[in-house]
A and B are shown apart, each in its own frame.
Chain A
Amino acid sequence: MTAYLAHFLVMVAIYAILALSLNLLIGYSGIFSLAHAAIYGIGAYASALAALKLGLGFWGGLVVAAGAGAFASALVAIPSLRVAGDYYVVASFGLQVVVLAVFMNWTDLTNGHAGLPGIPRPKLFGWVIDQPFEYVFLAVAFAVLTWAVCWRLTNSAFGRVLQAIRDDEIAAQAMGKNVVLVKIVIACISSALGAMAGSLYAHYITYINPSSFSLHESIFIATLVILGGSERLAGPIVGAFLLLAIPEVLKFMAIPDTVAAPMRQIIYGALLIVFMLVRPEGILGRARHGR
């Protein structure tokens, strides 16, 4: 039971990082991305490959992951954000599809469907972190760090600019804010953090394969953010907790496996619709921060 609980907590922490980082985009900047799972995957693969092929440990892998995530994001953000938000949605979809294709088909590098096993656990001053509750500490520590970074970003002049862009982008431009640059910067930061979550995941499960980083996963992460809300930074964390609990609840309801997966998706889809109708400001309204 305790191992199960530890695992649940680690996954909540990882998804909290994913949700917090995506929230920077969707909640604070009003830019919708369908590629966060691809970024998560880029982080996981970059970190795993850095460990397996270059012998870098977890900490080195973390840096490689962040760099790879930011780079991939910049590649897509720079052309599309100059134009309009809808272009970014489509471009992010493209990124998601392409990245997954790379994971599945560049078999020399990624082993394709078979995935990459044997990813080493993190080491801290010679101590290997492999007990379940040790990992909980590591994951939660990273979640707290991510939260702190997001807090600093949003409770600052920069955060004010983000909010202004979301509230009225034209006025922001008229007041001298370089809106496109700010959006690109936030996209890169969001991706760097999301990719780091991937690194954390890879060195925890020690095996990764493409199926964890699909479009469905991107939609799931977006659902976490949207439902949890961005009124407070705690929102995405709450969202992560709640939405990870749903599958566990379903497990107890003895629903056959083939139905359980689509059933979960139906619940997420229904929740999105209901929330948009009833409480959209959970995400897209003001994200009030300190004055």
Chain B
Amino acid sequence: MDLFLQLAATGLVVGSLYALCALGWGLIYGTTLHFHVAHGAVFTLAAYFAYAAQKFLGLPLALAVVAGVFAAALSGMLIDFLIYQPLERRGAIRTTLFIASLGLLTLIENLLAIIFTPDPLRMEVGWLADSVQLGPVFLTRLHLVSMATAILGFVALMAFLKYSLWGQAIRAVSSSPEMARTVGIDLRRVHLLTYAVGSAISAPAGILVAMDVGVEPYRGTTFVLLASVAVIMGGIGSIPGALLGALFLALLENIGVWKIPSEWQSTISFGVFLMFIVVRPRGFFGRKIQSAEI
């Protein structure tokens, strides 16, 4: 039982990280329909930025984190502005955009690998690394911070989307770009904003990993693709769905270890994903998949 609880706790911690990735990626995908795999490079970049800010600029941890988040928001916007929007202006089809995104992911990850070497680089976290015991479960303070960040991020994002003017504009575009255009919403600006917010909300995931086990250049690819699985399972266009999907996936992987050797974790996730799309392709809360606009 103790083992089960420990695995569940770890699952929640990992789930928090997946959730932050999924929230950001899901927001971007639901609003722009861009399969933005370069998102993996963006939050990895944020992590390296935070690491460098702490190590080379001597910034205190909190400021380094903020710097990382800003770096993510800026990178996300630049990618949309410099690559995706020009592609869309040229009438690119979605696969073209996906390929460009894949190219970006490859390019940025490998550039980081050359600059920082492929070895994991850990940030200094001081007392955050201390262990905390909750009943039979052992976690570090950092793990608790991760969970708190995910919850905060989720609540903040929901509030932003519901109550702020910009959030409502994003929701309008997400629900129907045509209608949004007719009521005078500037799609390009909303896209840029979506990228800024989406990248910013996922940045902490990369940075928390940098604080826990260290940042590596290539982990972003796996994370972003897991995020896309989480979003699909949760339902495209649903923010709570993305959160649920991420937690579900992480719990599945970590509790699965109880009975199934850990090397097979990824197999479990994708096996479940395949079954899911057979049985309920629209995910937990997604809109019903219908043929394209006819």
Contacts and interface: CB of A to CB of B under 8 A. Distances in A.
Contact of B270 (A87, A94, A262, A272): A94
B97 A265 contact: no
Contacts of B110: 262-263, 265-266, 269
Contacts of B35: 86, 89
B103 A270 contact: yes
Contacts of A170: 291-292, 294
B78 interface: no
Given A266-B106, A272-B106, A97 B270 contact: yes
Between B110, B225, B273, the greatest number of chain A beta carbons within 10 A of the residue's beta carbon is seen for: B110
A141 B278 CA distance: 40
Contacts of B99: 32, 222, 226, 272, 276, 283
B261 A272 contact: no
Interface string A225-269: 010000000000000000000000000000000110011011011
A239 to B, nearest CB: 14
Contact of B289 (A83, A270, A273): A83
Interface stretch (A1-9, A98-106, A187-195, A197-205): A98-106
Interface in B51-109: 83, 86-87, 90, 92-100, 102-109
B270 A259 contact: no
Nearest to A226: B99
A143 B120 CA distance: 41
Interface in B102-143: 102-111, 113-114, 117-118
A115 interface: no
A252 to B, nearest CB: 19
Contact of A91 (B83, B94, B274, B294): B274
B103 A273 contact: yes
A137 interface: no
B247 interface: no
Majority secondary structure, B binding face: helix
A283 to B, nearest CB: 8
Between B225, B274, B275, the greatest number of chain A beta carbons within 10 A of the residue's beta carbon is seen for: B274
Nearest to A271: B103
A284 interface: yes
Nearest to A82: B281
A144 B36 CA distance: 37
Contact of B102 (A270, A272, A284): A272
A102 B107 CA distance: 28
Which of under 10, 10 to 19, 20 to 34, or 35 or more describes the interface residues of B? 35 or more
Contact of A259 (B90, B95, B114, B292): B114
B95 A268 contact: no
Given A87-B277, A101-B263, A277-B83, A263 B114 contact: yes
B229 interface: yes
A82 B275 CA distance: 13
Contacts of A95: 270
B254 interface: no
A80 B277 contact: yes
A102 to B, nearest CB: 8
Interface string A70-109: 0000011001101111110111011101100110110000
Nearest to A264: B110
Contacts of A85: 94-95
B92 A93 contact: no
Between A84, A104, A263, A276, the greatest number of chain B beta carbons within 10 A of the residue's beta carbon is seen for: A276
B96 A280 contact: yes
B4 interface: no
Between B102, B229, B266, B289, the greatest number of chain A beta carbons within 10 A of the residue's beta carbon is seen for: B102
B83 to A, nearest CB: 7
Nearest to A262: B110
Interface in B268-294: 269-271, 273-275, 277-278, 281, 289, 291-292, 294
Given A79-B277, A269-B105, A94 B83 contact: no
B232 interface: yes
A271 B117 CA distance: 23
Contact of A90 (B109, B232, B291): B232
Nearest to B231: A90
A89 B231 CA distance: 14
A212 B37 CA distance: 23
3 closest A-B pairs by CB = A272-B103, A269-B107, A94-B270
17 contacts: A83-B289, A84-B289, A89-B35, A94-B270, A97-B267, A98-B270, A105-B263, A219-B102, A262-B110, A262-B111, A262-B114, A269-B103, A269-B108, A270-B103, A272-B99, A272-B100, A276-B87
